[in-house]
Amino acid sequence: MDKQTVIVGDGCRIAYRFDGPASAPVLMLSNSLGTDMTMWAPQMAAFTEHFRVLRYDSRGHGGSASPPGAYSMDRLGRDAVELLDALDIGQVDFCGLSKGGMIGQWLAVRAPERLHRLVLANTAAYMGPPSNWQARIEGVLKDGMAPLAEGSITRWFTPAFPASDLAAVAPVRAMLLANDPVGYAGCCAAIRDMDQRPTAGLNRTPTLVIAGSEDPSTSIADARFLTESARDARLVTLKAAHLSNVEQAKPFATAVLHFLG
């Protein structure tokens, strides 16, 4: 099925697509900062054996619109809820990586009735200091995505991986370079202003937290905080940096599917 779009409450266009059997339970996937729904390609064959997979491009990314100005985590969370409303889907299993995992944390507190189970991968309740994000916003609006792309690749993968698996890394680099700087900056502002640590203990949804042992962006300590704060959570660590679903594609899919049952 090709991408389709819905218009959410503030007028923003959100792109989405379904894959997998129409009769299967829905697994919703949420992308990281700087990527789009195709970041989940390494898991699609495994996931669609068991689920009707709903992927969407976060606002500011891929086929979704990039409204000017700062976004908020509340707005990104409501985009996910309003997409489900538009598709008449009551409840899903949800898997988000990095920014997608931040949206998952928001849903667990603000819309827990929409979640059956939750996977939070390579994410954190807080990613400070805000000044770093402000500098990134100013840089991308001035110079575009190209200067950010190589730095992101360096953070997202362990040092040997880009050379050892060019076929896996090339699409990620292309996603980064294709980003609208305005949309990327808007999402950076949402992360800049986010602090979900005070509400982390309100997560009552059965949760799997996935961490990368070599992740310089969202640490094992960040993952442990999310695991220990939630009522019912378990932690899996993969030997990877930030994009663990790309660097450890099969173990990532196995961990998710085992958790989802």
Torsion of the alpha carbons at 101, 107, 49 and 88, rounded to the nearest 10? -140
63-87: per-residue pLDDT in tens? 999 999 999 999 999 999 999 999 9
- Cis peptide leading into residue 129 (ω within 30°): yes
Q: Please, what is the end-to-end C-alpha distance for the chain in angstroms?
A: 26
Select from 143, 8, 110 the least CA-distant residue to 67.
Answer: 8
Number of domains in the chain: 1
pLDDT over 80 (residue 172): yes
Tokens linked to 153? 């690749």
Average pLDDT over residues 26-52: 98
Select from 93, 122, 98, 97 the least CA-distant residue to 108.
Answer: 93
pTM, entire model: 0.98
**pLDDT of res. 101:** 99
Average pLDDT over residues 223-228: 98
CA distance 122 to 132: 19
Select from 154, 189, 211, 168 the least CA-distant residue to 75.
Answer: 189
Where do we find the tokens 């594609």?
A: 249
CA distance 125 to 199: 9
105-116: per-residue pLDDT in tens? 999 999 999 999
pLDDT over 90 (residue 26): yes
**pLDDT of res. 2:** 85
Measured CA angle at 1 (ends 10, 42), to 5 deg: 95
Select from 178, 33, 200 the least CA-distant residue to 100.
Answer: 33
Measured CA angle at 172 (ends 97, 127), to 5 deg: 40
**Domain that residue 166 falls in:** 4-260
pLDDT over 90 (residue 14): yes
Report the CATH number at residue 227.
3.40.50.1820
